[in-house]
Structure 1
């Protein structure tokens, strides 16, 4: 559906993403929200600054993009709002209120699921004065920049993703999964080159952490290929670096981007974000 609302935009970086100007989501009408959704699908990532949203409003807004997704780790969901996940280093009454250093390392969310999340949204409630930037890599531009010969070599390769492998090898907070989490998150196979369902554009859909092997390729050769491709995708020419302000909403399309958080001085600063997801479909 084409909207008649003409939103003011500026690119996050040349050829990728859009900042939407003068949109107040808490008071936006349906037509404006439709325009925001349209901009998201077109640009791969959108930024809206200066928002004031409570958890109910966040869930209502993200529902315009599709059905909100649940979270694998539920201990840090917001009480009364199970679709809202807290990222924070704050400790209250001796207990952390959110996941800390979650999302550091280039990845796409839920890549270990048969149907990875389509969309990720972060809402900034509290941000450090320095550090904690979020980086987005344009995997469509990275694919398009490859030579036709290299594209032909990579197209058709399949990746073995594993949540169990990820949790046992990740840098922050390694853990052995319970039998329940293992059963709920079986290993999956996804294509390395992913086609976007909205317009058929292709993305070099590589990720770190969850990829256990390239199907049919022995390790370490397979994982070395993954490292090589991640290095390619995350070159400066393909990456947007977002510096947070309180009230920012940043959303990205997991079907065509790679992202990572960055570290900050957690002895000096506090950071609190609300993360929401939208259900996705099977990669092809």
Structure 2
């Protein structure tokens, strides 16, 4: 196993020669260390079956099935499928997922620690993922904005981006919305968290899920404060040229792991609608996000 040295122009590290079946405890510990420190680890030239992919996820934590079954692989509920393909048995997974800035499961009581992303079919024009390191975004906030959010908390909900299921057709919209609120009630987290492993301060705000900010006493603060945080962090830049944004492209055989607590991401979908499919396994680890809450 060879781990490429991180450079100033390349985010994360690339790993060649990694064989999950032969990996030692020391190999896996090294990958976890790089994952927390460098945020992204790309395992090159992987050819894993779904079972092997899930087992690799177990090396980094406890895999958790996505709460909506329509995203599941038909034979492996722990694999989330994003796909625009039609298989012999019909469509699998959901097309065009994640085209907005978010952190996986930010709207749930225990957000994921690590995301493992494994493209199965790539378009000819490379598909990739945009990322923002929210520890860097916090450090780069203007002094006035950092002072304004000290001690505040934000509320997060999936309500804006929940996809309509086939079973929702002909249901009243109000009934569907009520079910969303019941299944995924809003979660409240400090606007700035401390990473439970690295100790970095993280701006915990996303365009997709953050909808309200309040002071230490629970009083709502103006919405423009969230808008200012989104703008300064880069999430409102539709050109994707903001200095906080970087793009990770993919090659066949890449298996990408990232620190879901620190990095927020947004999918880059191919505009021509070429066939594309990816698998995802998401895990919690022994360091819950709540460990980063300062009382």
Change (3 A) 1:109 1:273: same
Q: Does 1:60 align with 2:66?
A: no
C-alpha distance in 2, partners of 1:242/1:40?
Answer: 15
Q: Does 1:276 align with 2:275?
A: no
Instruction: Give the match for residue 144 of structure 1.
Output: 139
Instruction: Give the match for residue 194 of structure 1.
Output: 193
Structure 2 unaligned segments of length 5 or more: list them: none
Conservation of the 8 A alpha-carbon contact between 1:135 and 1:259: yes
Instruction: Give the match for residue 210 of structure 1.
Output: 209
Cα drift, residue 165 of structure 1: 4.2
Cα drift, residue 48 of structure 1: 1.4
Conservation of the 8 A alpha-carbon contact between 1:131 and 1:262: no
Change (3 A) 1:15 1:95: closer
Match of 1:245 among 251, 261, 264: 251
Instruction: Give the match for residue 150 of structure 2.
Output: 155
Cα drift, residue 45 of structure 1: 1.5
Judge which range, 197-206 or 228-237, deviates more: 228-237
Instruction: Give the match for residue 228 of structure 2.
Output: 225
Q: What per-residue deviation string (whole Å, max 9, x for no partner) do you get for residues 244-279 of structure 1?
A: 112111111111111000121354x21111101012
Conservation of the 8 A alpha-carbon contact between 1:89 and 1:266: no
Instruction: Give the match for residue 46 of structure 1.
Output: 41
C-alpha distance in 2, partners of 1:264/1:143?
Answer: 30
TM-score, normalised via structure 1 length: 0.85
Conservation of the 8 A alpha-carbon contact between 2:73 and 2:79: yes
C-alpha distance in 1, partners of 2:2/2:283?
Answer: 23
Cα drift, residue 71 of structure 1: 0.2
Change (3 A) 1:12 1:55: farther
Instruction: Give the match for residue 27 of structure 2.
Output: 32
TM-score, normalised via structure 2 length: 0.82
Conservation of the 8 A alpha-carbon contact between 1:7 and 1:35: no
C-alpha distance in 1, partners of 2:149/2:85?
Answer: 43
Change (3 A) 1:177 1:205: same
C-alpha distance in 2, partners of 1:13/1:100?
Answer: 34
Change (3 A) 1:247 1:227: same
Conservation of the 8 A alpha-carbon contact between 1:106 and 1:259: yes
- How many pairs were matched up? 275
Q: What per-residue deviation string (whole Å, max 9, x for no partner) do you get for residues 205-236 of structure 1?
A: 22112112112445542442343244279754
Q: Does 1:92 align with 2:87?
A: yes
Conservation of the 8 A alpha-carbon contact between 2:194 and 2:202: yes
Change (3 A) 1:167 1:229: farther
Q: What per-residue deviation string (whole Å, max 9, x for no partner) do you get for residues 30-87 of structure 1?
A: 3212221221122111111211111111111111111111202212311231111111
Change (3 A) 1:36 1:145: same
